[in-house]
């Protein structure tokens, strides 16, 4: 028996144009006919669908009305400054400073507040206790420095206060947990989860209570972006680590109920880090094999195949 590679001689570029609906009707019909009979062409088309699953056919950023409004105001000001056209030749140099000025201003403000309110170690302890116990204290910013491992949380108080500590400090992890669970502003919740994600990059094991809080976020958080970031953070935490039973149950539920394919994909990835022995998980994977997203279908298929291989190997032993 001999196996040989089969290269389709059909025009592959036609398939790309077919995929992007750029072929004239007559050629399109020819390509459609070809796809039905040529397995290689079908595979090529499937690979384009995989590409679509990885890079969605939507803009790479969504702009909120608020952001757009700020940009419009700044642009209108620049247009007004640029008029009359011939008499303002230097207006452009100021233009590129605008966004940077806004960003730099916020950084300077933070430094200013820090300079004013840096506290003694005792005061820091007191502040930890105060903010851990308070559900009302609203966070204005959370920063993490990957080089030093220091987390800085800024609170919007009558007297703005900033707390800094190493990520391995349980108290700062506690504040991050509260930020995830109690902050009204979704941006603060998102910053908290991103900090957890980045901290894990330094191989700092998070407190179990924090991991549990993240699982709770998956259950109760309305914001899809935050749920997705939480899954990403959990994925980075669980590299080489099995997923706990409670989290596994939550993930199985997400795999079958989440509308966002990006979330389902992250949930599946996290699930496949865990032991595949559970019948419940296998059943979820069987369902995922029918998912609308081809990435998820393939990933589920691969996980099931892996499970079957392992089972057979164990039987042989």
Partner 1 sequence: MNDRENELIQSAKNGDNRAFDELIRLNDRRILQVAHGIMGNMQDAYDAYQEGVIRAYRKLDTFRSDSSFSTWLTRIVINQALNMKRRLRWKQRLSLDQLSESAPDLLRDNQATPDEVFVTSELSDEIRKSMELLSDRERTVFVLKHMHGFRLREIAVMIDCAEGTVKNYLFRATRKLRDELRAYSPERAPKESTITTHQ
Using CA atoms, how far apart are residues 260 and 147, in angstroms rounded to an integer? Answer: 34
- The interface with partner 1 within residues 278-307 (CB under 8 A) comprises 295, 298-299, 302
Nearest one of 202, 253, 200 to 227, comparing CA atoms: 253
Using CA atoms, how far apart are residues 182 and 174, in angstroms rounded to an integer? Answer: 12
- The interface with partner 1 within residues 146-205 (CB under 8 A) comprises 186-187, 190-191, 194
Q: In which order are the strands placed within the sheet that holds 161-166?
A: 138-145, 150-156, 161-166
**Residue 240 tokens, joined:** 């080489």
CB of 120 to partner 1, least distance (A): 30
What radius of gyration do the chain's Cα atoms show?
A: 26
**Which range, of 51-59, 109-117, 213-221, 237-245, touches partner 1 by CB under 8 A?**
51-59
Total residues contacting partner 1 by CB under 8 A comes to 71
Binding mask 5-24 for partner 1 (x = CB under 8 A): xxxx----x--xx--x-x--
Name which of 186 and 242 has its Cβ closer to partner 1.
186
**H or E segment and range at residue 75:** helix 65-82
Task: For residue 203, give the DSSP letter.
Answer: T
**Which range, of 41-49, 127-135, 206-214, 251-259, touches partner 1 by CB under 8 A?**
41-49
Name which of 120 and 290 has its Cβ closer to partner 1.
290
Crossing angle of helices 186-201 and 208-220, rounded to 10° = 140
Residues 235 and 271: beta-carbon distance below 8 Å:
no
Contact between 60 and partner 1 (CB under 8 A)?
yes
- The interface with partner 1 within residues 69-88 (CB under 8 A) comprises 71-72, 74-76, 78-80, 82-85
Kindly tell me which residue out of 2, 159, 259, 317 binds partner 1, with binding defined by CB under 8 A: 2
CB of 185 to partner 1, least distance (A): 10
Q: Is 100 left (phi over 0), alpha (psi -120 to 50) or beta?
A: alpha
DSSP-derived pairing of the beta strands 150-156 and 138-145: antiparallel
Kindly tell me which residue out of 47, 116, 134, 309 binds partner 1, with binding defined by CB under 8 A: 47
CB of 68 to partner 1, least distance (A): 6
Using CA atoms, how far apart are residues 220 and 282, in angstroms rounded to an integer? Answer: 25
Contact between 214 and partner 1 (CB under 8 A)?
no
Name which of 45 and 124 has its Cβ closer to partner 1.
45
Name which of 173 and 293 has its Cβ closer to partner 1.
293
């Amino acid at each position: 028996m001999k196996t040989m590679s089969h290269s389709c001689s059909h025009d592959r570029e036609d398939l790309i144009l077919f995929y992007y609906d750029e072929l004239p009707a007559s050629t399109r019909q020819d390509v459609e006919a070809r796809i039905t009979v040529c397995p290689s062409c079908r595979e090529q088309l499937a690979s384009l669908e995989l590409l679509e699953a990885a890079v969605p056919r939507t803009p790479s950023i969504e702009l909120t009305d608020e952001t757009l409004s700020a940009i419009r105001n700044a642009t209108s000001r620049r247009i007004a400054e640029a008029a009359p056209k011939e008499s303002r030749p230097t207006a452009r140099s100021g233009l590129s400073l605008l966004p940077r000025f806004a960003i730099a201003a916020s950084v300077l403000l933070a430094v200013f507040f820090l300079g004013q309110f840096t506290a003694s170690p005792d005061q820091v302890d007191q502040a930890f206790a105060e903010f851990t116990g308070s559900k009302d204290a609203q966070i204005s910013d959370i920063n993490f420095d990957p080089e030093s491992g220091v987390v800085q949380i800024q609170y919007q108080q009558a007297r703005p206060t900033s707390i800094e500590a190493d990520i391995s400090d349980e108290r700062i992890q506690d504040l991050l947990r509260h930020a995830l669970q109690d902050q009204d502003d979704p941006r603060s919740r998102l910053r908290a989860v991103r900090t957890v994600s980045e901290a894990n990059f330094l191989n700092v094991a998070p407190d179990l209570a924090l991991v549990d809080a993240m699982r709770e976020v998956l259950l109760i958080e309305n914001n899809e972006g935050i749920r997705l970031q939480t899954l990403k953070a959990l994925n980075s935490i669980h590299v080489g680590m099995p997923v706990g039973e409670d989290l596994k149950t939550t993930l199985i539920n997400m795999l079958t109920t989440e509308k966002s394919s990006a979330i389902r994909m992250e949930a599946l990835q996290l699930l496949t880090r865990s032991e595949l022995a559970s019948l419940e998980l296998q059943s979820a994977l069987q369902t995922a094999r029918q998912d609308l997203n081809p990435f998820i279908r393939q990933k589920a298929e691969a996980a099931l195949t892996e499970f079957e291989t392992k089972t057979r190997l164990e039987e042989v032993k």
